[in-house]
Amino acid sequence: MSDENRHVVFICSKGNLDMVYPALVMGWAALGNGIDVTIFFTFWGMDIITKKRQPHLEIAPVANTSMKMSLMGLPTGNLGIPNILGILPGMTAFATSIMHKKIAEVGAPPVGEYLQMLVDGGARLYACKMSVDMFGLTKEDFVDGVEDIVTASDFMDMSEGAQIIFI
């Protein structure tokens, strides 16, 4: 496949802070390599592009088996301590705060700024019609840069031949 025909699609189905950045980082890298980028937001991934939700994306330590509390300076062991600590009041806010600091330390921009960079770089953003209807949203609820609300079927046609990455 020649460079001019390269196309990658990210399907974002989760709105947790730790699930947002993989698509943003890989999308930015793809644009930098001359690859067309499209991002389709569905189900809880709609939080990423919803004006009211985007500033409040969190990372929940409960049931997040990959989260290591040692990243947050807390003791860990092999007894499921991260999940136990995760149920304590304030742990989601604490984990989110630590994650924001770590994101800033590596120089990654906040989610809204990252999305704008992607759009400015030529990425195309779409919202899933079924999810929009389920959650009672309209295009006005979305951040600038979301091009349209499309059905899954239309999106399949739009992304024909693309490499698809589901996040």
Specify the CATH number for the domain of residue 148.
Answer: 3.40.1260.10
Query: What mean pLDDT is predicted for residues 6-12?
Result: 96
- Specify if 54 maps to a domain: yes
Q: Which domain holds residue 154?
A: 3-58+109-166
What's the whole-model pTM score? Answer: 0.84
Helix or strand run (H / E) with residue 151? none
Burial 67-89 (b: 16+ CB within 10 A, else e): bebeebeeeeeeeeebeebbeee
pLDDT tens column, 35-66: 999 999 999 999 999 999 999 998 877 666 56
Report the alpha-carbon distance of residue 90 to residue 79 in Å, rounded. Answer: 21
Domain assignment present for residue 79? The answer is no
Phi-psi region of 101 (alpha: psi -120 to 50; beta: other; left: phi over 0): alpha
pLDDT-derived band at 100 (thresholds 50, 70, 90) equals: confident
- Our count of domains for the chain comes to 1
Residue 77 lies in a domain: no
Is 138 within a domain? yes
Q: Is residue 85 part of a domain?
A: no
Q: Measuring CA to CA, which residue among 135, 138, 136 is closest to residue 148?
A: 138
pLDDT number for residue 102: 87
Is residue 67 situated within a structural domain? no
Q: What is the pLDDT of residue 65?
A: 59
Of 90 and 68, more confident: 90
In a domain, 81, yes or no: no
- Residue 78, pLDDT score: 42
Q: Residues with Cβ < 8 Å from 140, sequence gap 6 or more?
A: none
